[in-house]
Amino acid sequence: MNPQEAARRVVEMVGDRAEAEAIVTFGREELTRFANSFIHQNVGSEYTRVRLRVADGGRVAAVTGNRADDASLARLAEDALTVAATQPVDHDWPGVAPAGHAGDGDFSDPSTVDATPAGRAGVVADFVAAGEGMLAAGFCDSDSFEAAFANSNGRAGSYRGSRATIDGIHQTGESAGSAHQTSRALAALDGAAAGALAADRARRGMNAFDLKPGEYQVVLAPEAVATIAIFLDFYGFNGKAVGEGQSFVAIGDQQFDPAITIVDDPLDGEAVGAPFDAEGVAKAPLTLVDAGVTTAVVHDRRTAGKVGANSTGHAWEQSSAYGPLAGHVVVRPGAASVDDLIAGVERGVYVATFNYCRILDPKSQVVTGLTRNGTFMIEHGVITGAITNLRFTQSFVKALGPGNVAAVGDDLRYADSEFGPGLVRAPSLRLDSWNFTGGAEG
Amino acid sequence: MFDPATAAVEAALAAGATYADARFVEARAENIEVLNGNVEGLDRIESVGVGVRAMFGSSWGFFGTHDLSAEGLRSAGHRAAEIAKASAAVPGPLFELADVPVVEASYETPHQEPPLEVPLSEKVDLLVTVTEEMAAVDRIRLARASFGAWDTHKWFVSSQGHRIHQHLVECGGGFDATAIGESETQRRSYPQSFGQYETGGYETVRKWEYAANAGRIAEEAAALLDAEQCPEGEMTIILEASQLALQIHESVGHAIELDRILGWEAAFAGTSHLRLEELGRHRYGSDLMNITADATLPGALGTFGFDDEGTPAQRVPIVDAGLWVGVLSGRDSAAIAGLPPGGMVRADGYDRLPMVRMTNVGLLPGASSVEEMIAETRRGVLMSTNRSWSIDDKRLNFQFGCEIGWEIVDGRLGRMIKNPTYTGITPRFWAQLDMLGGAAEWVHWGTPNCGKGQPMQVAHTGHSASPGRFAEVRVGVRG
């Protein structure tokens, strides 16, 4: 049975006893993990995931299983109906999506679908070799899958997808530098280039000194920008957070610098994409911030229904609790090279990545976290040395606010975020002010 | 159910593995989310499968499958061995797995009311009731409550002869109220942030008396909107027990994981400020600091019979009167470090590779009480219930925010304060521990959402703690 058949079958098993929607995914994920310059974990699994949500007169339940044979699907359907029957009516239940074609597409790449342990080991070996005399750590993984949706209104769709990532650090013993690449295609990953960047940052990171906390100009590499973007996304552009009054978002207001444009773009040629969401609603490009003006928030059917809008196709399995989420975020690039960004700093800090960021207040988007794997002093337009990791406490909205974004880099690429790889593409940014609140001394 | 695991192990050995083990896991989970009296989410999740781990030379391979046919199990064992051989292309140091007792055994979590058998209507009614009570309080916009339960059977088999069946029962939950002002949000939670989870049945939920505490929690959240900001500066702080539990988790629990100390988590979760050569000599904190990793504590969330390598649960000293004396380890990490294996290796599901995880890393109680701590404090802040947590990749530089605080002036509790935060450096902070609550205030707090590893795994850990007092701590950092 393929995912399309399984999704249709389990919905048929519910029959006319309730509304039903199913999303079924068959996939294979494998990961080669290295540390101390050798492979210390190497794992793989084939997975099946069947999620069925039913609603009987507004009494809703969702069940998930990991088998797709007829007997397992039948049991899942009966479980869902049994559980739903015990529930109170969900007054915000929007119903399943209307009849129609959810969409289809092939976002997979053969080099990822056919990935082998030896292929990933080759990328790892290239990364390790690029840092002679250093200790390397990180991972190279590949994930490929086929997903299908069906609901009791006859809506259906399917697609294939894939993602591969090399992410790692080189360590000198007193410093570390990181690098990250993500693509649909394992073949597109360049372990040597990633390893060289990580090694360069590690070498430059030696002999670090402590910088006194305070407000500094910063140049943020794509990983750091991606962290900002994902926090704005999860806590801000989230239609549920907006409805609850917990978001900073004010549609139509110039909340960001004119240099900032943020879109959710699931369908372009580089996207680790998906043509529809967990409710079978078609995805499309959506501009969240246009030249600094907040223009949209993302909705699933529930949040859209509460404000009389249409779903924007951003449901995921946990969006009823956490709200809809943009998963294909792009911070639009500018024209400045990274060297240009650094050249414009009189006295400031270059940050390769942030680490362990946590929100202190969702409405003001004040976040604390640390720098990691490459924190450098910039003086008179050039990097002059390494500094020890710094703690910041900073409103992410204010960080990208009007007048604070001095320049946007041209180095758009996938960057890892606090939420994992494959969610955000971002360039480097130069910001006029960033609030560092602590250093190695606390 | 030992047979599927055995088949996978035999296939791995036939494909050239020198050692193999496998877990057949049947897992059921239930999650209920209620907001303002409305059930927003009710999920039941089931998974069944086998994960097989194979060793070739000193390299591991792992493969997980839900295909329980004879061919599927053979293929999983074979692929685990092939992956191990691929790993050996970039090999690490040679080692022999540390010895552990080879046993045939079984274990079941002591429990009274299987949580998945308690009627859904009863559980939902409780959550709906407490959210409705909280939502009725002026200025409370969001009243949430949740319940979660896990029921897990594991059958473990190794090529050395282990045959172990475990039935683990865990559950818990909690609630929170959020007040939203013009430019801020304030939240209070009960029994702690993200809920309190324990091993045991639904009786572990009943004992926390949700309904009796809902009104107080909501009133506190609303009052926080009008409270004064936490003062800035260096002063004495008293951490109530659940916040101290998280402090232990972040600044001790992760730092003593041997895989981190050995560098195996360096890229993602980071390393540790601890160096093995300082074991037994490094001063972690004050004489009041006595920490154990105890997988045998009845009711605590990190309690089990055997870990996922078949090593029996045990109690391991970690910090003895302020001196660092122990680590969290498994059979491979212990062998490489030349230490006895601690039985602290677990996996998040059949399809994940077991790795070093905290059991119940807890601070043994002292002899004081909160009242005594307050009475002996001239100027300080009492902080309660975690709101934010962040620590660096060596587990040194931390900043925590709490939901609520109260000023202490001349030995008495003063006004309520909002946005209390404190920051510090791990060994310096623990050296400032100068008073510690006694056994009467000692609670086995549970952390159900500890993330680590790639692919990311979530572990359930326990942290016993009573309230503690720390002198001269930097508080009130703001952005």
Share of chain A residues as helix, strand and coil, in percent rounded to the nearest 5 = 25, 40, 35
Per-residue confidence (pLDDT) for residue A329, from 0 to 100? 98
The residue among B92 and B18 whose pLDDT is bigger is: B18
* Average pLDDT in chain B: 97
% of chain B beyond a pLDDT of 90? 96
Tokens of A270: 């580089």
Cα–Cα distances in angstroms (integers) from residue B62 to residues B23, B77, B98, B355, in the given order: 11, 8, 19, 12
Q: Cβ A39–B392 below 8 Å, yes or no?
A: no
Q: Give the three-state DSSP class for A351.
A: strand
* Average pLDDT in chain A: 96
B479 has pLDDT over 90: no
How far is the C-alpha of B302 from the C-alpha of B215, rounded, in Å?
31
How far is the C-alpha of A275 from the C-alpha of A160, rounded, in Å?
10
Per-residue confidence (pLDDT) for residue B124, from 0 to 100? 96
Per-residue confidence (pLDDT) for residue B451, from 0 to 100? 95
Per-residue confidence (pLDDT) for residue A43, from 0 to 100? 95
Among candidates B99, B216, B205, which has minimal Cα distance to B146? Answer: B205
Per-residue confidence (pLDDT) for residue B67, from 0 to 100? 95
Spatial CB neighbours of A335, under 8 Å, sequence gap ≥ 6: A408, A410
Q: Cβ B477–A65 below 8 Å, yes or no?
A: no
Per-residue confidence (pLDDT) for residue B118, from 0 to 100? 97
The model's pTM is 0.96
Omega cis (within 30) before B420: no
How far is the C-alpha of B159 from the C-alpha of B287, rounded, in Å?
44
Q: Cβ A438–B263 below 8 Å, yes or no?
A: no
Q: Cβ A86–B120 below 8 Å, yes or no?
A: yes
Do residues A195 and A176 lie in contact, with contact meaning Cβ atoms separated by under 8 Å? no
In this prediction, residues B165-171 reach a mean pLDDT of 98
For residue B440, list its beta bridge partners: none
How far is the C-alpha of B135 from the C-alpha of A233, rounded, in Å?
27
Beta strand pairing call for A214-220 and A347-361 = parallel
Q: Cβ B124–A35 below 8 Å, yes or no?
A: no
How far is the C-alpha of A114 from the C-alpha of A5, rounded, in Å?
24
Q: Residue B121: which of A34, A86, A167 has the nearest Cβ?
A: A86
For residue A287, list its beta bridge partners: A263
In this prediction, residues A126-151 reach a mean pLDDT of 97
In this prediction, residues A354-367 reach a mean pLDDT of 94
**Angle of CA points A312, A150, A239, to nearest 5°:** 20
How far is the C-alpha of B325 from the C-alpha of B337, rounded, in Å?
14
Do residues B362 and B444 lie in contact, with contact meaning Cβ atoms separated by under 8 Å? yes
Do residues A221 and A428 lie in contact, with contact meaning Cβ atoms separated by under 8 Å? yes
The count of C-alpha atoms lying within 13 angstroms of the C-alpha of B355, restricted to the half-sphere facing its C-beta, is: 29
B457 has pLDDT over 90: yes
Q: How confident is the model at residue A109 (pLDDT cuts 50, 70, 90)?
A: very high
For the segment B201-248, what is each residue's pLDDT rounded down to a tens digit? Answer: 999 999 999 999 999 999 999 999 999 999 999 999 999 999 999 999
Q: Give the three-state DSSP class for B408.
A: strand
Per-residue confidence (pLDDT) for residue A385, from 0 to 100? 97
In this prediction, residues B51-65 reach a mean pLDDT of 95
Do residues B344 and B194 lie in contact, with contact meaning Cβ atoms separated by under 8 Å? no
Q: Is B399 on the interface with A (CB under 8 A)?
A: yes
* Chain B residues touching A62 at Cβ < 8 A: 41-44
Q: How confident is the model at residue B292 (pLDDT cuts 50, 70, 90)?
A: very high
How far is the C-alpha of B145 from the C-alpha of B124, rounded, in Å?
9
Q: Is B234 on the interface with A (CB under 8 A)?
A: no
Q: Cβ B83–A43 below 8 Å, yes or no?
A: yes
Phi and psi torsions of A228, nearest 5°: -60, -45
How far is the C-alpha of B346 from the C-alpha of B351, rounded, in Å?
12
Q: Cβ B120–A168 below 8 Å, yes or no?
A: no
Q: How confident is the model at residue B75 (pLDDT cuts 50, 70, 90)?
A: very high
How far is the C-alpha of B22 from the C-alpha of B1, rounded, in Å?
11
For the segment B378-414, what is each residue's pLDDT rounded down to a tens digit? Answer: 999 999 999 999 999 999 999 999 999 999 999 999 9
Identify the DSSP state of B439.
G
Phi and psi torsions of A30, nearest 5°: -140, 145
H or E segment to which residue B223 belongs: helix B210-224
In this prediction, residues A262-279 reach a mean pLDDT of 95
Per-residue confidence (pLDDT) for residue B90, from 0 to 100? 77
Per-residue confidence (pLDDT) for residue B183, from 0 to 100? 86
Q: How confident is the model at residue B284 (pLDDT cuts 50, 70, 90)?
A: very high
In this prediction, residues A338-353 reach a mean pLDDT of 98
Q: Residue A363: which of B185, B268, B270 has the nearest Cβ?
A: B185
Cα–Cα distances in angstroms (integers) from residue B345 to residues B40, B128, B225, in the given order: 35, 38, 44
For the segment B305-336, what is each residue's pLDDT rounded down to a tens digit? Answer: 999 999 999 999 999 999 999 999 999 999 99
% of chain A beyond a pLDDT of 90? 96
What count of other Cβ atoms lies within 10 Å of the Cβ of residue B394?
16
How far is the C-alpha of B163 from the C-alpha of A122, rounded, in Å?
37
Cα–Cα distances in angstroms (integers) from residue B217 to residues A85, A253, B41, B134, B210, in the given order: 32, 35, 23, 8, 10
Among candidates B208, B218, B205, B196, which has minimal Cα distance to B123? Answer: B205
Distance (Å) from the C-alpha of residue A159 to the closest C-alpha of chain B? 22
Spatial CB neighbours of B220, under 8 Å, sequence gap ≥ 6: B177, B188, B404, B416
Residue carrying structure tokens 């007997």 = A71
What count of other Cβ atoms lies within 10 Å of the Cβ of residue B229?
11
Q: Give the three-state DSSP class for A277.
A: coil
Q: Is B268 on the interface with A (CB under 8 A)?
A: yes
Cα–Cα distances in angstroms (integers) from residue B417 to residues A215, B228, B375, in the given order: 26, 5, 19
Residue carrying structure tokens 């969900």 = A90
Residue carrying structure tokens 């659940």 = B242
Per-residue confidence (pLDDT) for residue A79, from 0 to 100? 95
